[in-house]
Amino acid sequence: MSQPLEPSLATLPHPFMRYFAATRPAFLSVTFVGCLLGLATAAFSGIPVGPALATATLFFALMAHAGANVINDYYDALSGCDAANTERQFPFTGGSRCIQNGVLSLRATGIFGYALLAAVIPAGLWLTAVSGAELMLIGLAGLVVGWAYSAPPLKLQSRGLGEFAITAGWLLVVIGSDFVQRHGFAFVPVAAGTGFALLVANVLYINQFPDVKADAGAGKYTLVVRLGVARARWGYVVIAALAYGWPLLMVLLGHLPVTALIALLPVIASIVAARQLWSRAGRPAELAPALKLTILAASAHGLLLAIMLSMPWSRLT
């Protein structure tokens, strides 16, 4: 099966579609799932979910994620790693290709990315006013993580800290979505969101395998670059084990209902992906199925858990 066509001026004649493509929309689905999970943890606690607040939370979380994606493309273009990435597996790795294919200029991409992040601020202030002052801390932490993942001076991914940043970022999505409804902090979104956030981190982790040569050449020392392809395979297994072990522990400790165990079913996809990674880690062209399965595992886990927590018989009393 052939890879999807990369963006070009010919395939994207309308300016809106060019900017939309730069956000890497296919990957925004994990933020959608994270917001649903946060809303579900609020419902699980017996809190009525307000549709207007839920919609606003979802919209601006997606905007923040889109901004972080565009900023990532901007700084990867500056470092030269995306231009040098001949083993990329589009659309999963190597960026949106909008800069490299002349769809958007480097300057336009940078302005667009920072504009998206800036647009989240007034929305965050409004949500803070209607839900609680502490939400400002959650939002600020999320913006800092999204920016610092790629941008200097922190460049967390280039320092081998990208997986920690991604785990924190998507856990904040769940916590923030819950907070807007709850108007306060609780442990439930942490119990439900940590495993999901780790699976999202594994998406970013496995995506580093096809990019390892380009990243190393550009001085982008991701965890896979630092460990080397052979040893880095273990990292995928460890992250997945932690991701599925966490909700199991939360059920055993009584923080999540027994029905939450249904959300462990995507472990099958993670196991198949791990086996494919184990035998194909050094052959980027053969990794696309494993990349897809890893995204599937993260999204399916989050959706199943959200559904289970939303069921009336699962709710806390």
pLDDT band at residue 1 using 50, 70 and 90 as cut-offs: very low
Residue 4 has pLDDT above 80, yes or no: no
pLDDT band at residue 2 using 50, 70 and 90 as cut-offs: low
Q: How far is Cα 212 from Cα 223, in angstroms, rounded to an integer? A: 10
pLDDT of residue 3: 66
Percent of the chain at pLDDT > 70 equals 98
Q: Where are the alpha helices (DSSP H) in 253-310?
A: 267-280, 288-310
How distant, in Å, are the alpha carbons of 106, 135, 169, 202, 227 from that of 165? 25, 19, 6, 12, 18
pLDDT of residue 312: 83
Torsion of CA 206, 95, 75, 155, to 10 degrees: -10
Residue 317 has pLDDT above 70, yes or no: no
The answer to whether the pTM exceeds 0.75 is: yes
pLDDT of residue 314: 72
Q: How far is Cα 36 from Cα 147, in angstroms, rounded to an integer? A: 23
Fold for 15-314, please state it: Farnesyl Diphosphate Synthase (1.10.600)
Closest CA to 294 of 168, 186, 189, 209: 209
Residue 85 has pLDDT above 50, yes or no: yes
Q: How far is Cα 76 from Cα 82, in angstroms, rounded to an integer? A: 6
Mean pLDDT for 58-69 is 96
Hey, where are the domains in the chain? Answer: 15-314
Q: How far is Cα 85 from Cα 231, in angstroms, rounded to an integer? A: 22
Percent of the chain at pLDDT > 90 equals 96
Q: Where are the alpha helices (DSSP H) in the chain?
A: 15-22, 29-44, 51-79, 106-131, 135-148, 162-182, 188-207, 212-217, 223-227, 229-252, 267-280, 288-310
The angle subtended at Cα 164 by Cα 161 and Cα 169, nearest 5°, is: 125
| Residue that the structure tokens 């017996």 belong to | 46
Q: How far is Cα 195 from Cα 246, in angstroms, rounded to an integer? A: 6
What are the tens digits of pLDDT across the range 195-230? 999 999 999 999 999 999 999 999 999 999 999 999
pLDDT of residue 315: 66
What are the tens digits of pLDDT across the range 261-306? 999 999 999 999 999 999 999 999 999 999 999 999 999 999 999 9
Asked if residue 158 lies in contact with residue 208, where contact means CB atoms within 8 angstroms, the answer is: no
Q: Which residues contact 252 (CB under 8 A, 6 or more apart)?
A: none
pLDDT of residue 51: 93
Mean pLDDT for 84-104 is 95
Asked if residue 163 lies in contact with residue 239, where contact means CB atoms within 8 angstroms, the answer is: yes
Mean pLDDT for 173-178 is 97
Longest pairwise C-alpha distance within the chain: 57
Tokens of 42: 């609020």
What are the tens digits of pLDDT across the range 114-163? 999 999 999 899 999 999 999 999 999 999 999 999 999 999 999 999 99
Q: Is 1 exposed, middle or buried (0-12, 13-18, 19+ CB in 10 A)?
A: exposed
What are the tens digits of pLDDT across the range 12-43? 999 999 999 999 998 999 999 999 999 999 99
